[in-house]
Structure 1
Amino acid sequence: MNLESCVLEAKSYRKSAQSYPLWIDFANAEDMRSFMENFLADKKISVEKYCNEDSMPRFENLYSDFRMEDFAFICNLSGFLKLLGSRKTAEVLSTLLSIGSKKIILTVQCGVDFRITDPRLKEKCQILSVEGMPQKYLDVCFVPAPEYLPQGIRPYGGVHLFGSMFEQQDDAVAYILTSKKKRDFPDAKINIRELNNAYEVLCSRIPQTANISIDKGSSEQWEYALGLLKENTSWEPVIDSVFGSHKSLEDSLHDFTSMDDDKKWLFYIGLRLFESKNACLKHVISKIASAQEIVRGIFRSIFDFGANDYRYWDFYDARLKLLKLMKGEQAEFSDFCDVVRAKDGNILPYLTNISQQEKELIFEYLDENGASLEKKELTAVLSHVYPELSNYLIDFDFRNDFLNNYFSAYKYEKLTNHIQPDFLKIVEEQAKERDYNSLLPSRSSLLEKLNLEKSSLYFMDAMGVEYLGFIQQECNKKRLMADIKVCRSELPSLTLYNKDFVDFFKSHGIEAKNVKGIDEIKHDGTLDYSYEKTKLPIHLIQELVIIEETLSRIQSELKSRNVDRCFMIADHGATRLAVVAQKDYDYSISEFEVAADVSHGGRVCKYSEDAANLEETTCVDTMDGKFCVVAGYKRFKGGRRPTVEVHGGATLEEVAVPIIEICLKQTNVEIWIETPEVTVGFGINAKIKIASKTVLKNVFMEINGKKIPAIEMSGQKFSFDVPKSIKAGMYDVRVFENGNLLKSDLKCEIKKKMAQERNLL
């Protein structure tokens, strides 16, 4: 039936003697309002009058009035029926229709929820269904407090107004301030939303919030977020204002410890909303359930991957970036190390050089397992976990096989804290033969050859040649060029008798800058490095720091252009293994009894015949008289035992010292490869050739991890023999001068010559 026909039917019913109700169900509220314009003078009964505030209708009162009242239109019923559902709709409408009273009941789309099946009702009552465009049901949103309302929304003040609201509301969503909950209307035919708490409000205002479950924050924390967001329609401005940028939240980890709990939680929420580009942080946030788990999650995330996993070192580097921001988490570093100690197998890949605890644990592991480790593999792992220590192990080329092998072994055994019998045998042989006298020039013989124009001097007390590989690597990183010469100090290897270079520089108007840190560590056992407190060579940690800091000072001085070159010169070296010998070997029974005053940890004594007659001692004349010094790892009995390292004696590590001239790396160096393709094969003497715009000296090339000395064709042209074992492929070629990296982006393709088939006639 159309609307016009319905109006006529209603008017006819109005005038009729019919005593049972007429029910008219409309397709939409607009048609119902148009219908009522034809009956403005007639009485209307709103179902809302039977409601207490914020309550549903008391239908028994409606039924009572329905019987007693004269003719009237029953209005504002549909909304309540939609909230209550089909069963209640059927109950209410069947009750009203069964009452003998002349009324017109108006509803919107309730016919779909109730079909009259009672033949008596069908006979007594008249039911009209008005055709039209079906009304789209509005959504209802229950809101418990005004502050939860979206900006600019005017709510209805309770569910008791829902009858008129349903039939008059044009908006898609009706907001009702109410104490009612969605669960109070389990059979509702319309969609009910709730803003019962700050989380639901945020989901309503900012749909992105729904990507986070409510259990990721307490009610107080969601209230905190709601207060921050205020009128914002997205999270970005708030996260940006608190942490700087939602795109780089990990940068705020440096401040995480000092954040209050609310800020830590907001940081966690930000990371769940805006996925971090850092692979480690992304992984951690996907696993944890609260802000309190972030720090420990980052620390222990490394256990989720095996060191053989192809992703491991990329993940390791991502985690390392985070740990650098979290240096203040000392308790967590200690906890992490406790967990690592309990792990089986090689624990080195779990560790970093960020904290003192981890560094010491690396030394602890090397002390226990170093003897069984391959140096090459150890260096490779350390290049990730402790690059400075890996660089310390890099060999310096003394251009002498004996010195190369000696100091390579010495450094490894110092690091692993054990003396191998083969090395001890070499030390004991050198205690008698003292080849350093022929292998190394005196320092004084080299001083006169130095260019001291616009120079400065750094007096590196007790810095022996063991650190030269490390210094070369640091210079390469800082874009410095180091020209290194190795010489010998005077005996006894004490500062008092090895300050000639200081006087030499002073005579040229150059005052020495004293760097005493290394010597103080070796002598005094500062910072608990004493052998009496720890048997581990953890003092090496600080030694490398002192050298790096000195090189940074030199870099700054050179960049100031006040000087053109800086010299690092040591008075003497020192030996750790003479101290370790007390642990690895029973050297107490091999102490030399001498009738003379003993000093410097038993390395030196005043001259006496019994000391002079020992094979492992050497005698020297000084300005203070004649002395005897030990040339091996034994000691003269008497005096204080060494606690960290010792010097005064005549081992190679005590005697060999560097003269290092450092300048800024030239920016105009041009090196190119003359042979971008090289063919190798049986009978072919394959060579790689390079050329330089400037004259170079002491050049070598590195390809496929192998260092190859140059065959100098001129000061600017060089050739290198291609390793016989190299495979076909494209290789990176690096060029060095005096151990300084000059060029690292050269390419050379190695091709294999195919064997020719013999022609058979």
Structure 2
Amino acid sequence: MNLDDTKKRVQKYLNSNKRYPLIVDVQTKEDLANIAEYFKVGSNNFPSIEEFCNQDEAIKLDELYAFVSSNNGNTFITGLSGFLMLFGENVAKQALKTLITTSISGHVVIITYQCEKYLRFTDARISESGRLVIVDGNPDNICNINFISPMLSDIFTDSYSGIQKIGTAIDSCFNRDAYIATAIDKSSFAESVFHISQVNNSYDILRNKDSRTGIVPQACGLPEQWNYVLHQMGKSGTWTTVIVDNFGSENNLLHVISEYPKFDVEKRWLYYVALLICGVKNNDYLKLALNKTSKSSELIKNIFRAVLDIDWKSENYQKLYRQRKGLISELKKPLPETIDFCKILSIKGEDEIYYLTDLTQPEKEKIIKWLSNYGVKYSKDELVSILMNVYPDLAYYLSSYRYRNEFLNTYFENYKYQKITNRILPSFDKVVEEQAIKRDFVTILKSRTAYVDKLDTQNAQVFFVDAMGVEYLSFIQQKCSEYGLSANISCARCELPSLTVFNKEFVDVLKDKGCPISDIKDLDDIKHHGKDSFDYEKEKTPIYLIKELEIIDDLLTKIKASILAGSYNKAIIISDHGASRLAVLHETENIWNMETKGEHSGRCCKISEIDDKPDFAIEESGYWILANYDRFRGSRRANVEVHGGASMEEVAVPIIEITQKASNIEAFIVDESRVLTLGAKEYAIIKIYVGIRSNNISIKLDGNYYNAEETAEPYIYSVELKNYSKKGKFSIDILDGGSVLASGQQFEIEKKGMSQNNMFDF
């Protein structure tokens, strides 16, 4: 029967005096809705099928039967089909037979949906009596039934709350799936004609939506965390949807780790799961850390610690070490994990140095302490090699700087080695005692004034760095090269005693030249006051060196920015005096009782008439000044480093002219030096051209360095090679400080008389 005839048939039934229910079975939800809407007029009653159910319980058929049998008016019942199908075919047939054969007082129209096969009664009289109408039409799709846990109802916003809603769902849900939020297990409906999917948690739904979910064990997340993902995924999404929305793309996960510290707990967990889902690309170390991680809260800890499972001597260690360092750098210095890592790293003993980086203060301090414990077992060059990988700035500090004097080269190499290994070697102590008598610094180093007077201060800015000795020159030179700066360095000596009050003469000279001066006292504050808990009485290792290098680096970074910005063309770094760590380590008072008390941690004291000159002391400016590592009595011990005395490290001071490094600096051997003809007892002196003015020009020949001196001709430098007098061809490199300006420059030595003799060689 078509739809219009069905409506006429129903209306005719309502107008009749027949006292049995009429069942109308439709094939589509649209027809069902059409019929129901057509008859929702006047006094026609449409009770909710849920009136015969308790919350989250199936329909009570006995109550329905009783309601139908006692009905007096015109009543339409919908929503029954879903329950009948849920109970199964046998129950459906019996229930429909019971209803259609019930005697009633009024009129009851029961509209069913695709129940024709349950209406094929064996008693033909039922159909022949006109109690059954089958509406024509092509059956539409009955939705799939999915039972979900009630806790998932907020994720499935179109879900039906409770099993009592199944009738409404079957009759009116046009989606492919209908989700019923119920606490009832599908096993309660073993005879159901529906294939019921049971989803008790979001994880199961996610696995159905995207099979990659199975890569991650369910135990990796709490129920509410899987809910969180499902909510973000939506109805038609996949893991790709979630990852793109949260992290940009599946291929971007490695770089997203830089944002990890800003993530809340849920997003950190999601990031961990995303790594498992997508795998780690282009970072073997993160993959290693991820494989060790069973829950998201361990990810960062394992990024720090996975390296401990790798032998530092293994072939791929350096690659993994660099990848780990890159990851930790992205994490913006997570302090708690760093501290924990440094604590557990002690299991590596002497090998711990190879697992450290320079990314965080605790690690840098651990490196300094390792040097105190184990550094003396290694040569200076071995330490530089190790540190160049784990703490390059400290390697720069320890590296050699050529002072244009072999004694200074050796002295400061040994001084820095002992400073970072936190000890005084007897051989060096002997050198200091000898120098306290010989005082070679007077002849080796010119006075600071000799250099300051000649400084070109046009468009220059001066930085007066209090207490910066020449020990930092290798660090400064390498940093300048790194920053694209050129450093023209001179080494001078300060006035005695090595105190600021006696060493500020250059301030007035530079001011008279119209040069602005900035005072930087950060280094001096550290050395005097034990700033940041560096006090020697509390901390015996020189961890303060970390801060010293940072202060200098910050200054060089500022200079670079200002020169590039055009604020000035040149920066001049100048110091009043140096300072000594070894004098603090020495911890000795001398035997002399002086009339006046020691000053400046005992490195000097004022002269009185009754005082005799102590051993190793210099008289200057009304003071006795100690040139060895003793201290006069009566003064407090030094906090970190000390000055006021006349040790080489206290006396030697730098004057550094910093400019932007010129590109393509031309350097070569001048023509007149390409072939040298030497007589007996003569040695080679070569001249080179270098297109800049610098105090740091040298050549490298057969692995040795030779200083170049300026000549009267601008940009022409002369190099004496006293060990080269024999015939031969030689190749040199020309350098400005640590930068090679030209390689493979060749010259030849010939001997007088040899060219004539060669004419008779056959």
> TM-score w.r.t. structure 1 length?
0.68
Distance 1:487 1:385 in 2: 33
- Distance apart, 1:611 and its partner CA: 5.3
**Preserved contact between residue 327 and residue 355 of structure 1 (Cα < 8 Å):** no
Distance 2:337 2:159 in 1: 49
Structure 1 residues 186-231: Cα deviation after superposition (integer angstroms, max 9, x where no partner): 9999998654432232233334434333222121111111112225
Hey, what does 1:38 align to over in structure 2? none
Of residues 541, 544, 563, the one that matches 1:539 is 544
Distance 1:189 1:483, change over 3 A: farther
Hey, what does 2:216 align to over in structure 1? 212
Question: Secondary structure of the equivalent of 2:532?
Answer: helix
**Preserved contact between residue 50 and residue 59 of structure 1 (Cα < 8 Å):** no
Hey, what does 2:613 align to over in structure 1? 613
Hey, what does 1:563 align to over in structure 2? 568
**Preserved contact between residue 471 and residue 649 of structure 2 (Cα < 8 Å):** yes
- Superposition pairs of residues 109-258 of structure 1, within 5 angstroms: 142-144=146-148, 177=180, 195-231=199-235, 233-244=237-248, 246-258=250-262
Hey, what does 2:87 align to over in structure 1? 55
Hey, what does 1:420 align to over in structure 2? 425
Distance 1:323 1:265 in 2: 18
Distance 1:481 1:355 in 2: 29
1:445 pairs with 2:450:
yes
Q: CA RMSD in A?
A: 4.6
Structure 1: which amino acid aligns with 2:634? G
Distance 2:341 2:656 in 1: 40
Distance 2:277 2:720 in 1: 56
Distance 1:151 1:433 in 2: 91
Distance 2:705 2:254 in 1: 44
Structure 1 residues 501-559: Cα deviation after superposition (integer angstroms, max 9, x where no partner): 11111001113100100011101111111111111111111111110011111112211
Distance 1:702 1:223 in 2: 69
1:525 pairs with 2:530:
yes
Question: Secondary structure of the equivalent of 1:643?
Answer: coil
Distance 1:361 1:694, change over 3 A: same
1:592 pairs with 2:592:
yes
Distance 2:350 2:538 in 1: 27
Distance 2:181 2:465 in 1: 80
Hey, what does 1:303 align to over in structure 2? 308
1:314 pairs with 2:319:
yes
Structure 1 residues 577-600: Cα deviation after superposition (integer angstroms, max 9, x where no partner): 000011xxxx24x34321224211
Structure 2: which amino acid aligns with 1:239? I
Hey, what does 1:394 align to over in structure 2? 399
Question: Secondary structure of the equivalent of 1:492?
Answer: coil
Distance 1:433 1:182, change over 3 A: farther
- Distance apart, 1:286 and its partner CA: 2.4
Structure 1: which amino acid aligns with 2:657? E
Structure 2: which amino acid aligns with 1:429? E
**Preserved contact between residue 472 and residue 739 of structure 1 (Cα < 8 Å):** yes
Distance 1:695 1:486, change over 3 A: closer
Hey, what does 1:121 align to over in structure 2? none
- Superposition pairs of residues 319-334 of structure 1, within 5 angstroms: 319-327=324-332, 329-334=334-339
Hey, what does 2:651 align to over in structure 1? 655
- Distance apart, 1:416 and its partner CA: 0.8
**Preserved contact between residue 298 and residue 319 of structure 1 (Cα < 8 Å):** yes
Question: Secondary structure of the equivalent of 2:381?
Answer: helix
Distance 1:534 1:740 in 2: 38
Distance 1:201 1:632, change over 3 A: same
Distance 1:701 1:247 in 2: 50
Distance 1:495 1:710 in 2: 32
Distance 1:289 1:690 in 2: 68
1:278 pairs with 2:293:
no
- Distance apart, 1:667 and its partner CA: 3.1
Distance 1:414 1:508 in 2: 38
Distance 1:287 1:139 in 2: 44
Distance 1:580 1:717, change over 3 A: closer
Structure 1 residues 266-292: Cα deviation after superposition (integer angstroms, max 9, x where no partner): 121222233343333222222212211
Which stretch of structure 1 is more off in the superposition, 177-186 or 383-392? 177-186
Distance 2:186 2:275 in 1: 32
Distance 1:605 1:203, change over 3 A: same
1:469 pairs with 2:474:
yes
Distance 1:226 1:572, change over 3 A: same
Q: Which residues of structure 2 form unaligned runs of 5+?
A: 1-79, 102-113, 125-141, 670-685, 722-731, 746-762
Question: Secondary structure of the equivalent of 2:340?
Answer: helix
Hey, what does 1:385 align to over in structure 2? 390
1:635 pairs with 2:631:
yes
Distance 1:718 1:269, change over 3 A: farther
- Distance apart, 1:608 and its partner CA: 3.8
Q: How many residues align?
A: 595
1:267 pairs with 2:299:
no
Of residues 561, 579, 586, the one that matches 1:581 is 586
Q: Which residues of structure 1 form unaligned runs of 5+?
A: 1-47, 70-75, 81-100, 104-137, 166-170, 674-688, 722-732, 749-761
Structure 1 residues 317-348: Cα deviation after superposition (integer angstroms, max 9, x where no partner): 21112222334532222222211124333211
Question: Secondary structure of the equivalent of 2:658?
Answer: strand
Distance 1:612 1:530 in 2: 33
**Preserved contact between residue 489 and residue 654 of structure 2 (Cα < 8 Å):** yes
> TM-score w.r.t. structure 2 length?
0.68
Distance 2:690 2:350 in 1: 51
1:739 pairs with 2:733:
no
